[in-house]
Structure 1
Amino acid sequence: MRKDANQQRRWPTGDILRRARFVDDAGPIRFVDTEAAARYLALEAHTLECYRSLGGGPIFHKFGKWVRYAVDDLDAWAESCRRVTTASPAAPRVLPIDLE
């Protein structure tokens, strides 16, 4: 890889690169397996598997029997999980009961 391409890439990490396979024409890795996606998001692989079943997780692709995550989708999902406060914006407001 060219030196300037290495400087622009935020991802993948060294341990991913050791297991990765590159195709010269395709460039950097676009899709990763569940284990790599979980490490990227600092989650357990089982958590992503549950998200796939129950919903609420990152978008995934199914290539035959293989599940893959696009790195761009992982970044988008992580950005959607960003919060400023622990209060949920969708939670109803609970008003105090006046017991006079």
Structure 2
Amino acid sequence: MAEKSQSQRRWPTPDILRRAKFVDDAGPIRFVDTEAAARYLAIEAHTLECYRSLGGGPVFHKFGKWVRYAVDDLDAWAESCRRATTASPAAPRILPIDRI
């Protein structure tokens, strides 16, 4: 039988689900990963990755090797990008992202 590719593997695995301790009420979601943050902001995940390297994007948290965004920080960054006109003098410097 062929091995499932990385993208086809089911997460979480059945073994992890058996060992997991479920919480009835964990409260509202506070942190999201890069993919979910990108969907929330309606931009590409690659754009957020570039902002992390170049600056100009939302604040993020690093938990070991995992990058997470607080939903409140995403809202604050989106609000800071709000403009009434294209000539707004207080526009933050956001570098263009060009894929090579």
TM-score (norm 2): 0.65
> What value does the CA root-mean-square deviation take over the aligned residues?
2.1
> Matched residues in 2 for 1:23 and 1:31: separation?
17
Alignment gaps of 5+ in structure 2: 1-11, 13-21, 92-100
Q: Percent of counterpart pairs with the same letter?
A: 94
Residue 14 of structure 1 corresponds to: none
Q: Which amino acid aligns with 1:47?
A: T
Q: CA deviation at 1:28?
A: 1.4
> Matched residues in 2 for 1:25 and 1:64: separation?
25
Residue 61 of structure 2 corresponds to: 61
For residues 12-51 of structure 1, what are the structure 2 equivalents within 5 Å?
23-51=23-51
| Bigger relative CO (Cα 8 Å, ≥ 6 apart) | 2
Alignment gaps of 5+ in structure 1: 1-18, 92-100
> Matched residues in 1 for 2:43 and 2:85: separation?
21
Render the CA deviation track for 1:24-44: whole Å, top value 9, x for unaligned.
453011000000000000000
Counterpart secondary structure, 1:69: strand
Which of structures 1 and 2 has the bigger CA Rg? Answer: 1
Q: Give the length in aligned residue pairs.
A: 71
Counterpart secondary structure, 2:57: coil
Counterpart secondary structure, 1:58: coil
